Amino acid sequence: MSRPIIAHIHTDAMAHNLALVRAYAPKAKVWSVIKANAYGHTIEAAARGFAATDGFALLDLAEAKRLRETGWQGPILLLEGLFAQEDLFAMRDLACDCVVHEWRQVDWLENMVDAPQFSGARPHIYLKMNTGMNRLGFRPDDYLQVWQRLHGLGFEITHMTHFANADYDDRQPSVDAQYQTLEKVVADLPGLRTVANSATLIWHPQIPSDWVRPGIMLYGASPSGASSDIEGLGLKPTMSLRSEVIALQHLSAGESVGYGSRYKTDVPIRIAVVACGYADGYPRHAADGTPVWISGPAGQWSTGRSCPMAGQVSMDMITIDVSDAPWVDVGTPVELFGQYLAIDDVANASGTIGYELMCAIAQRVPYQIR
Ligand SMILES: *Cc1c(COP(=O)(O)O)cnc(C)c1O
């Protein structure tokens, strides 16, 4: 008998969300971003759910290898490029394209490209300009020089940048300002552009991007972290974290629940103990009142209701006030987030964003990929 917690992955919802991305950018090609184990969904589920993509973007050669093992033969982009010169061999063997964002990566490519082992193989380069995010990329003043060097070595080059504020409309640098900074330098150079993440696709669809790079919207969550911001867009949740009630406690007025006795009650309540804790990836900072979806009578999901967390999250358990769900018994199925409860709403109650909850699913949680 294993613990009842399971991360359900809905590959049909992933395919649906990818089709929606295409509606936002009908002429663009799509890099489906599957870094961090496909935002916690597994590379294998991503290969299935996003089979209709044009390419997959990730960071890690081990994940690129797993992706090739699923049978994917199309493009793979390494979003942070090489971390060491030796990576060039794995990159060649796995036929990956790569971002170049730093001088030493240019040196490594230059050192290796004429080595006999390379025999003419040339990855496609995504040359990254820092247009104001100040994280990765060459400054606009240096960009042309790097472009000329790589162009001279025979690489095909796509122009790339990343926006800091695509989910805000009142912060600087704006998406438009960053895009203009890129255009000023690359306007007369050959090469396509890749600039749009999910927030850009949703809120700045006028920005041209030959290849778009959606991540979070493919997984049905909001780039801004607020579920209300994507209401009505038609995105579907792709991960449902579910478990069961493993114990019930009947409390009298004046009692408390869990470590530190954080939650105190002044009326009699019923507490359900659910097999899911921070060692499963559930956020330990979840506040009292964080919603948990309790399935309805006979375990029917759609007739269930949201009940509030009561008490500190433990390593292996959480405690929920189910006084308003009198049918709840030991064994009642529970959804922590997913189809019935927006991941962003749970994230909000814990001071984080849906991205982090997806990526945090712990190794000990089994997956069911459907
Ligand atoms: C992660 C990432 C993306 C995807 O961002 P979302 O906000 O998840 O859409 C796009 N581009 C780059 C370079 C990234 O690192």
> Does residue 77 line the site of ligand 1, with CB under 6 A?
no
pLDDT in tens, 99-124: 999 999 999 999 988 777 776 678 99
37's enclosing H/E stretch is helix 35-39
Domains 11-219 and 239-369 share a fold: no
Q: What is the pLDDT of residue 1?
A: 63
Ligand 1 centroid vs 35 CA: distance in angstroms? 9
User: In the chain, which stretches have pLDDT less than 50?
Assistant: none
Q: Is 107 helix (H, G, I), strand (E, B) or coil?
A: helix
> Does residue 323 line the site of ligand 1, with CB under 6 A?
no
Indicate if 35 belongs to the active site.
Answer: yes
Residue pair 214/30 in contact by the 8 Å Cβ criterion: yes
- Measured distance CA(124)–CA(19) in Å, rounded: 26
> Does residue 128 line the site of ligand 1, with CB under 6 A?
no
- Measured distance CA(196)–CA(30) in Å, rounded: 10
Ligand 1 centroid vs 8 CA: distance in angstroms? 23
The fold of the 239-369 domain, in CATH, is: Lyase, Ornithine Decarboxylase; Chain A, domain 1 (2.40.37)
The amino acid that residue 145 corresponds to is Q
Specify the CATH number of the domain 11-219: 3.20.20.10
> Does residue 222 line the site of ligand 1, with CB under 6 A?
no
Burial class (CB in 10 A: 0-12, 13-18, 19+), 279: middle
Ligand 1 centroid vs 128 CA: distance in angstroms? 13
Kindly list the distances between the CA atom of residue 266 and the CA atoms of 11, 108, 249, 251, in Å, as whole numbers in the listed order: 45, 67, 15, 10
Choosing from 24, 27, 29, 35, the catalytic residue is 35
Q: What is the pLDDT of residue 144?
A: 98
- Measured distance CA(19)–CA(114) in Å, rounded: 41
Residues 6+ apart with CB under 8 A from 44: 66, 70, 369
Q: Which residue has the tokens 């380069």?
A: 125
- State the first-to-last Cα distance of the chain, in angstroms, to the nearest integer: 22
- Residue ranges per structural domain of the chain: 11-219, 239-369
> Does residue 162 line the site of ligand 1, with CB under 6 A?
yes
Q: Which atom of ligand 1 is nearest to the CA of 213?
A: 10
- Measured distance CA(269)–CA(250) in Å, rounded: 6
**Whole-structure pTM value:** 0.97
Indicate if 340 belongs to the active site.
Answer: no
